[in-house]
Structure 1
């Protein structure tokens, strides 16, 4: 049987009480409608709401409410003070509106970029002599964005291209260029890196679809045929006279530093530095986006798994990649220190613990879900990452983590 709600007056508020605002999110300036009072500033803001009573939870409070003061004689009639809650509400709504528009713009640009990536494969089939020019133009634009701004933010994308077979090379390219920037590569090196990343799987065009799209486990002969895509890609690249750096990425992106990769079981010293970068980002995206999406790991889990087999990867590059992706990469499900659930939408590599989140709040419609930038909410922090199975069904349905995860960058400064 549900417990009877307990109410107090604003005069009884004190630090340590756990309160619940029976208001819509737009009617107050707090990040959540349920929280424990941490300081006098929150008490003042609660009293400024002008409510006659507030609901509180004795079991989750650290103390009892203050005793009611003795009734006073009614004061002389005076004009009501300005409404602080209206000012705060307007400011919060304006901030949310700007952030939503920015995220929609990133989504729109991602769709345009993914269509350009798709066009590269069509060009290879119809006019291969134009491939280098078109791929170069796409990569040049991406390098300009990534190297031209200090405020690059990595976003997870709302599945706009989730049914498209071309999101994988785009993911690998975005992540490789971010990693290249972190490693201090200049624009010329980043251009070669991006070209190799966007074209790393061109050899798969010569693999029969019945093998290419077959979920594991493959037979030994099927596995050997699939692995031939690196040799096939090298052959195509040589025919198109790609630069050596690009050819090596295409041929070596499955080579591991411990010598366990293919096609030639090279060890670290024999693998080009750019191939070692693409090996990391390709491995990560394959963990997050396998053929069967239900087998995919969360970005947080994928990084953890890669660290357990770190002998396969360039040590410096892997540590740099973990810094680039952040402690809670975009696409991760998390729980905050106030027990709220959230999905990571975006992160800035220089602020790994302060990503932008979409929050679960049963009182807010899903299509109006709250978006919070932790950089601007210093009272909030992420407590832990979660697997989808650890969330209640209604929370999972509300946050709707993508079965297939795509990435893009936003070059505007945060704030």
Structure 2
């Protein structure tokens, strides 16, 4: 899973490149399987063949091709090629990238695949824990701990931590994805709010079970069968789900009281307009205030009420606009850590490439890692550009799915369900 080769203009040739000439029927003295450009004489011979481009093999090259910026400075030394008036297949975007970006891409793709496998295992544990609550025993906390414990360790480690976007493979109910999303985002925020490891784990545990009180409405609640009554009963039952969930978890041996309080209060708001207790200000537990921010954001992002789907960028803007009754410090830190372009956001970079943010860097949220589209690079080997390495590049704008051409959208493959998971950044 790496970039084996990519086309470059012949004007970008220089000694030290390993290239391959793909021109069936053309007679030339160079090996068909590829060769190293040894000197300027080789460059002259290749250019004399009249080819518009050749293929560069980065893993076998001692350097990157000459960038387009360098070519502009050498216009008097070499004849201008089609780069001056047309966009080339790959080199216009890739020639200016640092060698580290190309070299580390294989590792980044492989690490992301490992992270996806860990996410799948975590999701299995989430489903197991949520299902066990109906018959409470110690296994409930054990299953939850296998998800929450490692994430707390990760957030508190000295490693650079990433929040990765996962391509959710829909199975069973979407509530499982929502539960893990809220747990990941709440633990991230709890760490930023200065909580200790045990407290972060309590926030994670409570967040994982925050909606456990939702379920089938008892049939006896429907005294009449008309739609008005049904709508009223459903709303009333929804308003009760924090109490129902907290009561269920009280029966779980050893379930942390702080986590239980989070479940009870995660819909409470600082201005007293929340439910079920209409608590105000400091009467709302810190864990509940943290989970409320993560819960609101994920509901904006992954709406289930039939409202138009929001991109992560739009969900973050919606959270900011409706921040009033939420904890102001929690909202500020949440936005600062995930950034204006959270994982899953479709963006355009300053070099014109379009891509999807695949991970947010917790140390510099304005410089995430972006998987970019390029028609000449297979999707399974898609280039991931880390903006903390490519410091000359920036995100210039956020995009919606309908802003992209169909082939670009298919290549980037943003999921309808956006899910998050935590991982350590690769070491330099």
- TM-score category of the 2 structures, normalised to the smaller one: 0.7 to 0.9
Counterparts of residues 141-290 of structure 1 (less than 5 Å): 141-160=150-169, 164-165=173-174, 166-205=176-215, 207=217, 219-240=231-252, 242-290=255-303
1:100 aligned onto 2:109: yes
Counterpart CA distance in 2 for 1:297 and 1:311 is 20
CA contact (8 A) 1:258 1:267 kept: yes
Counterpart CA distance in 2 for 1:372 and 1:26 is 19
Q: C-alpha displacement at 1:137, in angstroms?
A: 4.1
Change (3 A) 1:127 1:26: farther
Change (3 A) 1:101 1:314: same
1:54 aligned onto 2:70: no
Query: SS at 2:422's partner residue?
Result: strand
Change (3 A) 1:306 1:41: same
Which residue is 2:25 aligned to?
none
Q: C-alpha displacement at 1:228, in angstroms?
A: 1.6
Structure 1: 5+ residue runs without aligned partners? 1-6, 12-20, 61-84, 212-217
Counterpart CA distance in 2 for 1:162 and 1:402 is 14
Change (3 A) 1:26 1:184: farther
CA contact (8 A) 2:347 2:398 kept: yes
Q: C-alpha displacement at 1:401, in angstroms?
A: 0.9
Counterpart CA distance in 2 for 1:255 and 1:365 is 48
Q: C-alpha displacement at 1:9, in angstroms?
A: 5.6
How many residues are paired up?
Answer: 361
CA contact (8 A) 1:374 1:380 kept: yes
Query: SS at 1:346's partner residue?
Result: strand
Which residue is 2:122 aligned to?
113
TM-score relative to the length of structure 2: 0.75
Q: C-alpha displacement at 1:266, in angstroms?
A: 1.9
Counterpart CA distance in 1 for 2:273 and 2:250 is 25
Which residue is 2:347 aligned to?
334
Q: Which has the larger displacement, 404-413 or 238-247?
A: 238-247
Q: C-alpha displacement at 1:187, in angstroms?
A: 0.6
Structure 2: 5+ residue runs without aligned partners? 1-8, 14-51, 88-93, 222-229
Counterpart CA distance in 2 for 1:200 and 1:219 is 23
Which residue is 1:405 aligned to?
418
1:138 aligned onto 2:159: no
Output one character per residue of 1:235-284: Cα deviation in whole Å (capped at 9) or x when no partner: 11223363331121111111122222211222222211110000000111
Output one character per residue of 1:315-353: Cα deviation in whole Å (capped at 9) or x when no partner: 001000001111211100001112221100012121112
Counterpart CA distance in 2 for 1:92 and 1:325 is 22
Counterpart CA distance in 1 for 2:427 and 2:71 is 26
CA contact (8 A) 1:334 1:383 kept: yes
Change (3 A) 1:370 1:129: closer
Change (3 A) 1:150 1:365: closer
Output one character per residue of 1:162-217: Cα deviation in whole Å (capped at 9) or x when no partner: 665311111111111111111111111112111111111111145469x9xxxxxx
Counterparts of residues 357-396 of structure 1 (less than 5 Å): 357-396=370-409
Counterpart CA distance in 1 for 2:86 and 2:103 is 35
Change (3 A) 1:313 1:42: farther
1:125 aligned onto 2:134: yes
Counterpart CA distance in 1 for 2:56 and 2:266 is 48
Change (3 A) 1:150 1:369: closer
CA contact (8 A) 1:177 1:190 kept: yes
1:353 aligned onto 2:353: no
Query: SS at 1:384's partner residue?
Result: strand
CA contact (8 A) 2:98 2:390 kept: no
Counterpart CA distance in 2 for 1:305 and 1:263 is 24
TM-score relative to the length of structure 1: 0.77
Which residue is 1:14 aligned to?
none
Which residue is 1:65 aligned to?
none
Query: SS at 1:316's partner residue?
Result: helix
Change (3 A) 1:247 1:396: same
